[in-house]
Chain A
Amino acid sequence: MKYNNPNKLYVSVKAIFYPDGGLRPISFIGEDGQEYEIAKVTDVRRAASLKAGGVGVRYSCKVNNKEVYLFLEEDRWFMEKR
């Protein structure tokens, strides 16, 4: 069964998995096909996205000086469409 939500963008993410179990996203490929560097992760918490329709671990990322939310839901990453 499919949930088709135009506001939910599944994205490719590069991440580092640390030996202690931690995880940090490094960059992601945006809708335009471009790779965006994540300068800093400012917050990590469990959160729901009402806009995209999903729940997961939300990484608040600084990208080009703007805040972007990346959600890790089970084993897929998604972001909210701008």
Chain B
Amino acid sequence: MDRVILHSDLNNFYASVECLYRPEIRDKPVAVCGDPAARHGIVLAKNYLAKATGIKTGEVIWQAKQKCPDLVVIPPNFPLYLRFSRLARLIYADYTDQVESFGLDEAWLDVTGSQHIYGDGLKIANEIRERVKAEMGVTVSVGVSYNKIFAKLGSDMQKPDATTVISRDNFKQMVWPLPAGDLLYVGHATKRKLARYGINTIGDIANTDRKFLKSSLGKWGEVLWAFANGYDNSPVIAMGEETLIKSIGNSITTPRDLKTDEDVQMIFYVLSESVAARMREHGFKCRTVQITVRNSLLFSFTVQGKLNRPTNLSADLAAKAVALFREHYNWENPIRSIGLRGCDLLAADTHEQLCLFADEDKWLKQERLELTVDELRRRFGHFSVQRAALLNDNELGSINPRDDHVIHPTSFFKEGKLP
């Protein structure tokens, strides 16, 4: 049976919220812009009146004002937008538990299993639209389809406050004439590349030989081909706006320069314990490990590598970090500072593919061990339990990046009250 996927997109999100809260500007062209003093003075969002003058998101304020001299420029109020994003998610949650946020203003919903209760995708989409309008005072456009890619394209087709259904019967008429650049993951570079081969629409991508796309664009070529043909079967992953935290990392300038692999290994243990503990605290696992190394000449580089499985265990992080380091550093100079970061985060309670050839029991044991260490440290202090390897060197072993707050990534958005 086909899935039923909704993509819900809050129209002109920041600008709509501002217009709701400022009735006096509703009939004027409005742009929500970053702070010019902090060198963030670009257009973040605009309403339809501003859009009509040709203003684009990402433009600098003075450019926008040239196009539209009476533009009303408003600073962003992120806590308020975050609150609205949560309100929308509460509405979605009435229809399904499978909601995947894509930024603050977009989300995919898998309502396949909710149809006997709430009616088909179109009915649910329309109900969500009505509720968002009544309960939040802003509008959404909803795309309904059998995969995430088409659902997203659908939500873009009619704005504001509309539902667009893209089915197996009509997708060739609806999706294929669209420019290739509308497809998710087709950026400027890919678009240009495709245009060189005379591939301009999504239909062109769909009807190009898959092997040709693969040879010219790499594995993404195949992915795009599948997207364009409606073969995308990526699941809607239940996750929240908390994944706005994109990575968790620590870096440290060590008390003395590091000179050997053992030194570096020790620091990676220290860092990975801190990073892993924080990932567990926030309920994340990472799929990629990134290390940053800066030597005594202040030359620095960053490399990253994929893990075999998502993890939030310090042993896994440290092993990967050390492997990356060995592969990329030749010890021409001693090292001054070092960083470790877990990226490509996903929620820790996501289902996971077990491996036939790995020792799952050992992994579970390791997980229990690290959780126990967390608990011991919480009760008796950080240095109550330590790796033996760290006892070799008092200076390096006694670093506690977690509590010393060397670099602590905090979520961009803080829980805030209304102004």
Interface on A for B, CB 8 Å cutoff? 1-3, 5, 7, 45-51, 53-55, 73-76
Q: Does B388 contact A (CB under 8 A)?
A: no
Please indicate the chain B residues that have their CB under 8 angstroms from the CB of A45 in the complex.
Answer: 135
A-B contact list, 30 entries, CB within 8 Å: A1-B75, A1-B77, A1-B419, A2-B419, A3-B21, A3-B419, A5-B21, A5-B23, A5-B24, A45-B135, A46-B87, A47-B134, A48-B20, A48-B133, A48-B135, A48-B138, A49-B137, A50-B20, A50-B23, A50-B137, A51-B23, A53-B20, A53-B21, A53-B22, A53-B23, A54-B20, A54-B21, A55-B136, A74-B417, A76-B418
Q: Give, as a whole number of angstroms, the nearest-CB distance from B89 to chain A.
A: 13
Contact in complex: A48, B419 (CB < 8 Å):
no
Across the interface, B23 reaches (CB within 8 A) one of A1, A7, A73, namely A7
Q: Which residue of A lies closest to B134 (CB)?
A: A47
Please indicate the chain A residues that have their CB under 8 angstroms from the CB of B417 in the complex.
Answer: 74-75
The interface size bin for chain B is 10 to 19
Q: Which residue of A lies closest to B20 (CB)?
A: A53
Please indicate the chain A residues that have their CB under 8 angstroms from the CB of B419 in the complex.
Answer: 1-3
Q: Give, as a whole number of angstroms, the nearest-CB distance from A17 to chain B.
A: 20
Contact with A along B40-67 (1 / 0, CB 8 A): 0000000000000000000000000000
Q: Give, as a whole number of angstroms, the nearest-CB distance from B27 to chain A.
A: 13
Contact in complex: B23, A48 (CB < 8 Å):
no
Within the assembled complex, what's the spacing in Å between the Cα atoms of A75 and B417?
Answer: 9
Please indicate the chain A residues that have their CB under 8 angstroms from the CB of B21 in the complex.
Answer: 3, 5, 53-54
Contact in complex: A48, B136 (CB < 8 Å):
yes
Within the assembled complex, what's the spacing in Å between the Cα atoms of A51 and B20?
Answer: 9
Q: Give, as a whole number of angstroms, the nearest-CB distance from B198 to chain A.
A: 48
Count of chain A to chain B residue pairs whose CB atoms are closer than 8 Å in the complex: 48
Q: Give, as a whole number of angstroms, the nearest-CB distance from A65 to chain B.
A: 26
14 other A-B residue contacts (CB within 8 Å) besides A48-B138, A50-B137: A1-B75, A5-B23, A5-B24, A46-B135, A47-B134, A48-B133, A48-B137, A53-B23, A54-B20, A54-B21, A54-B137, A55-B20, A55-B135, A74-B83
Contact in complex: A73, B20 (CB < 8 Å):
no
Please indicate the chain A residues that have their CB under 8 angstroms from the CB of B23 in the complex.
Answer: 5, 7, 50-51, 53
Within the assembled complex, what's the spacing in Å between the Cα atoms of A33 and B21?
Answer: 25
Q: Give, as a whole number of angstroms, the nearest-CB distance from B187 to chain A.
A: 34
Which label, helix, strand, loop or mixed, suits the secondary structure of the B interface? helix
Please indicate the chain A residues that have their CB under 8 angstroms from the CB of B24 in the complex.
Answer: 5
Please indicate the chain B residues that have their CB under 8 angstroms from the CB of A51 in the complex.
Answer: 23
Within the assembled complex, what's the spacing in Å between the Cα atoms of A73 and B135?
Answer: 12
Within the assembled complex, what's the spacing in Å between the Cα atoms of A3 and B22?
Answer: 7
Q: Which residue of A lies closest to B83 (CB)?
A: A74
Q: Give, as a whole number of angstroms, the nearest-CB distance from B103 to chain A.
A: 20
Within the assembled complex, what's the spacing in Å between the Cα atoms of A10 and B75?
Answer: 24
Q: Give, as a whole number of angstroms, the nearest-CB distance from B104 to chain A.
A: 16
Q: Which residue of A lies closest to B24 (CB)?
A: A5
Across the interface, A55 reaches (CB within 8 A) one of B22, B77, B137, namely B137
Q: Which residue of B lies closest to A57 (CB)?
A: B135
Please indicate the chain B residues that have their CB under 8 angstroms from the CB of A1 in the complex.
Answer: 75, 77, 419
Q: Which residue of A lies closest to B18 (CB)?
A: A3
Q: Which residue of A lies closest to B75 (CB)?
A: A1
Q: Give, as a whole number of angstroms, the nearest-CB distance from B408 to chain A.
A: 26
Please indicate the chain A residues that have their CB under 8 angstroms from the CB of B418 in the complex.
Answer: 73-74, 76
Please indicate the chain A residues that have their CB under 8 angstroms from the CB of B22 in the complex.
Answer: 3, 5, 53
Q: Nearest 5 CB-CB pairs, A to B?
A: A48-B137, A46-B135, A53-B21, A3-B21, A74-B418
Within the assembled complex, what's the spacing in Å between the Cα atoms of A73 and B23?
Answer: 17
Q: Which residues 118-147 in B have Cβ within 8 Å of A in the complex?
A: 133-138
Within the assembled complex, what's the spacing in Å between the Cα atoms of A5 and B25?
Answer: 11
Within the assembled complex, what's the spacing in Å between the Cα atoms of A45 and B135?
Answer: 8
Q: Which residue of B lies closest to A73 (CB)?
A: B418
Please indicate the chain B residues that have their CB under 8 angstroms from the CB of A3 in the complex.
Answer: 21-22, 419
Q: Which residues 12-48 in B have Cβ within 8 Å of A in the complex?
A: 20-24
Contact with A along B213-227 (1 / 0, CB 8 A): 000000000000000
Within the assembled complex, what's the spacing in Å between the Cα atoms of A1 and B23?
Answer: 16
Within the assembled complex, what's the spacing in Å between the Cα atoms of A76 and B83?
Answer: 15
Please indicate the chain B residues that have their CB under 8 angstroms from the CB of A53 in the complex.
Answer: 20-23
Please indicate the chain A residues that have their CB under 8 angstroms from the CB of B135 in the complex.
Answer: 45-48, 55
Within the assembled complex, what's the spacing in Å between the Cα atoms of A55 and B21?
Answer: 9
Contact in complex: A48, B75 (CB < 8 Å):
no
Please indicate the chain A residues that have their CB under 8 angstroms from the CB of B87 in the complex.
Answer: 46, 55
Q: Give, as a whole number of angstroms, the nearest-CB distance from B45 to chain A.
A: 16
Q: Give, as a whole number of angstroms, the nearest-CB distance from B77 to chain A.
A: 6
Q: Give, as a whole number of angstroms, the nearest-CB distance from B17 to chain A.
A: 9
